[in-house]
Structure 1
């Protein structure tokens, strides 16, 4: 029995043998002639292929020989000579010297660092000369602002962004202005507002920061005599001061933060985008000695004010004697 094989199919099979795709292993396609004997039409045995057999193509064998083998490129680390975890018996010998980790760091070059620390030396020299001339003119005298900064301590503390809006947080900021830090914490503790908890936590953080960083609120010094006084605040409330270092909230304001986005599912399969606002709170804490000074300056200004007197009784000139309407 002869097998009819068209010439076009024979050329196609020959081209596939010479192409580079022959190097890729392929799975055997099951056909009628592979599974059964041609003569018996089902009486023959099925062909069983060995999966472990290697291809006998010389091109594939050459490719496998030239293929690089994987190597372990990881280097084992080590401990420093002063480490208490160093164990010679367990860790083994130390790695060879000359590694990048064992080399000493390079010394800093002042000329290279000057590009960042002193980018414009001429402007710096002019500014220094200007400051020296200003100090000579003042003869070492400090301005009133500089004296107050040396005598009174101030802390500016800004919080992180709260998940609320400016409209909701602003009433809480106005509520704590002028109160002592302890009274402001109590107000936020019993407030029904949701953002009051965040404001209370920030007040406690600002209080601790003022004590640690600025040395505020530490009480009267030893041997210091202070007579309790009653002062008036900015909101015209009377406050009794027993400790001049007691902290109070001088200013409080809010600021907008970044907006978050979330999806809002609506009717008929529509989806809207919600903008979730965030707001930050900034506090200015001062000591009671500052409020006492402001109260005394205000009283002194009232005492120096001249008494108002009416105009002297004299005849009116350069005007009509009758009404002009």
Structure 2
């Protein structure tokens, strides 16, 4: 009959035999009970008898002395603040001063010298600019160019979107699809489009519409007291459109532009990894009101009316001609 003795226990037994108090505990077999059948402290396996007591006091003398010197936690009174409270400063500073009525407040006068640093940072440049504007006004005698007059009479909004995760090739057809349409019709077109980028274009159309209403005051309807008769006009692309509201918004121009490229990994064969360049594209919209399109339609019609009748042989005196040859 053989006894199962691990090597580390045999080595430990040599020291036990040489000592004055020899013990025969090393001769007892050490059984390791690690099975799936563990039923607590009385069953096989590891029981709960070796768990540490969380409420046991430390036996280290340094820890005991530290706990004795540690001050006890202060007892809080109901309605009081702890020392670590974020409202401690307010409690120490006292109550806030009573609010003064708006009519009794003393308004301090503004100091122009202090405000000049922000309002007039470069006085010499401002004086040169004012002198230039006065000279220009005298030369033109108060007359404005046609472009300046149209800027004052007609409103427009240029809105650029953020970069969409798509390419220029895929976004250009959508930009062509909404050009010349009213904003409501363009939103409907993008709503029922099967293109993936149409959803983002629709959201940008809604954003540009709200921005035009809030920032420029466009699309607010006819002013009370002004009558407008619905009329049919012809657009630049030879399409007939019925205008009911002269302040209705439409997409005059739409174009796209390239953005920054993103990078992603493309796993290939034999452990190779390529780098993909993911393109991004933005779309820019120029919104105008229908009265701009009405004015352009009338300009085209007036240009057609001003055309003169083409004559094959105009009635003009014959000059630089002789009845004989000059050679």
Please name the residue that 1:93 is paired with.
92
Deviations 1:175-200 (A, max 9, x none): 10000111111111111110001111
After TM superposition, the structure 1 = structure 2 runs for residues 96-107 of structure 1, keeping only pairs within 5 Å, are: none
Q: How does 1:1-325 map to 2 (within 5 A)?
A: 41-43=18-20, 77-78=86-87, 92-94=91-93, 114=117, 120-311=122-313
- Matches of 1:43 and 1:53, distance apart in 2: 33
CA–CA distance in structure 2, aligned partners of residues 79 and 136 of structure 1: 67
Residues 85-127 of structure 1: CA deviation (Å, up to 9, x unaligned): xxxxxx74338xxxxxxxxxxx99957974x765654333222
User: Aligned pairs, how many?
Assistant: 242
Answer with 229-238 or 304-313: which moved more: 304-313
Corresponding residue SS for 1:213: helix
**Aligned-residue offset at 1:136:** 2.3
Q: Distance in 2 between matches of 1:113 and 1:123?
A: 14
> 1 CA distance for matches of 2:237 and 2:19?
108
Q: Distance in 1 between matches of 2:230 and 2:187?
A: 23
Aligned to 2:43: none
Q: Extract unaligned runs of 5+ from structure 2.
A: 1-10, 23-58, 63-82, 95-109, 323-327
In 2, Cα distance between equivalents of 1:92 and 1:111: 36
In 2, are the aligned partners of 1:78 and 1:94 still within 8 Å (CA)?
no
Cα shift readout 1:213-259 (whole Å, capped 9, x = no counterpart): 21111111112111111111111101111111111000101111111
TM-score (norm 1): 0.64
Gaps of 5+ in 1: 1-31, 46-50, 55-73, 81-90, 96-106, 319-325
Looking at structure 2, the residues matched to 217 and 183 of structure 1 have their Cα atoms a distance apart, in angstroms, of 15
Residues of 1 paired with 2:303 and 2:251: CA distance? 25
TM-score normalised by the chain length of structure 2: 0.64
State the distance in 1 between where 2:267 and 2:111 align: 59
In 1: Cα distance, 2:115 partner to 2:220 partner: 45
